[in-house]
Structure 1
Amino acid sequence: MFANKVVIPKSLRKEILETLHETHSGIVRMKNLAREYIYWPGISQEIEALAVNCQACQEAAKMPVKVELSPWPVPSKVWERIHLDFAGPCKDGKTYLILIDAYSKWPEIFGNTTTSAKDALRHLDWTFTRYGFPKTIVSDNGSPFQSYEFKSYCRSKGISQIFSPPYHPQSNGQVERFVDYFKRMMMKNWGKPKWVEEVLFNYRATPHESLMGKSPAEEFLGRKLRTKLALVYPERPNSNDSERERIRSKMKTWFDKHHGARVREFKIGDKVQFANYSKSKNKEWLVGHIVAQNGVVIKIQSERLRAIVTRHINQ
């Protein structure tokens, strides 16, 4: 270990670099991810050389910013303000709906064949079912977001809309930067299976400079994502484990006391009754003999059914 990071031997460094470079996420993001888990002398220089010598990375390199952007105010919490935009049509024939949480930088990506309000709302329904409704949605003045259907949806959920000026996508910079990143990732990863999922996972797991070194997942979910690099990093004991075990034990004691639970012991060959659930959903009790047991799960040989059935001890 070196400064709480795993020191990688020379024999494994090539494989680690390939893992860091899987989605061609760029020099800064590869370094940020590496600093979370691993170290060896000269790792930064090797990451730089890897990206510089990658043809896909060079062809998709970002153009310099031409004007200074006016930043949005930072929200006070996660999922308070989200930014939306469409990217495409792309080379796969799809147009992607991009969503970014302004506080955590957590992204969502949805593939579409159209840019209709109906498609956008279908994906927002999926998202809001999991995370709840934001206070504000920021988008451009595109017809899907200006439609009566979209505006009515937002009003019904208590969501306010803010529109960026026409023909000035930089005003919606939160999502515009990710759209640019997404397009470059498409150029670098085109042809790979499940590249969208891999790009999303990598982005969510990588420390973000605007988040003071935390990843979008840490800010959004309150925890780090378990990545391939985490496999080389020894797990640290959680200080809350003992308290959780105490609560779990207390709950078990309460359940056993109030539900008449007791210890049941069986051995191979014991004759037992077990519940048989027929297609008519009527339960009947049959007799059989135990042929195997694994904890609270037992296997019973039933002469009537001419089969071995698996049951919980309570069944």
Structure 2
Amino acid sequence: MDLFEIKGRPYLVVIDYFSNFTEVDYLSKTTSGQVITILKKQFARFGIPTTIVSENGPQFSSDEFRQFTTKWGINHMVSSPNHPQGNGKAESAVKVIKNMIKKTLQDGRDQYEALLELRNTPTQNTGLSPTEIMFGRKTRSMIPSINTKQKVPNAKATELRSARKQSVKKCYDRRAKNLPPLGSGDSVYFEHKQGQHWKLGKVKERISKRAYIVKSQEGVPYRRNRSHMRPTSVNVQIRDMSPPRELLNFDKLAETKKTVPTRTPNTVELSMNSDNLVSECEPIKKEQKRVEPITRPKRTTREPAYLKDFVR
């Protein structure tokens, strides 16, 4: 799943990994609660998935979304920042849906009709449409078709999909190589921002097969993919940016809490009458200096020369 925006309107795209069946919903608010509400409606129609993959945005990394996936028994996997390949299925679906919405807006066509035909279009690798793989039948659309009422061969579709995946993997492996894993405490250069300079840091922990938590020299943790990290022999020193204990004075604060003031016999007691209370509570009057108001500077005015002989 992924979020995208067209003309200031946010949308949520959810695509099924097996059938490529796509759901698109408009979001009135880009919050975790709104995303959860949309997902609950979809899960009520199609069932609860075992695993969902999303980006590491605030809508999906919040504590509210984590509680939702835990309660519904869903394994939530997030992709590393600046690594869209980790959520490539949703990224490709976003491109298709974006082009579809833009074309319908240009031509003044119905977006729901376009989405219906998109779901009924057979894919290249299986020869079946996402609707046929999802529901085991064709759905009626605006385009005339012959309803043969044949059972969709799911086993054959699975075999064709696997062959297509192996073909894509073979082409990708020609220009790719396996990177050696990194251990905790290794010094690395990691990509700070996409397309910008790299920073020095140390690996804190490995959270998945290709995802790591790396700390910068300032002590800030970042989640990065292995492809965005390069090991180095430079000895990286992590600076502790937290305030020192001497400045916080935790020990002195604890001592002041333990010490209780004791009453001595030489303590002078004040009589609790109204005169003493008023005298004790009267505020000290301070002399108030008069502050001259600040005015704007005025320019010097002169009489015109032709009025010099004028008798007043």
* TM-score, normalised via structure 2 length: 0.46
Question: Which of these two proteins has the greater Rg computed from alpha carbons?
Answer: 2
Instruction: Please identify which structure carries the higher helix content.
Output: 1
Bigger relative contact order (CA 8 A; separation at least 6): 1
* TM-score, normalised via structure 1 length: 0.45
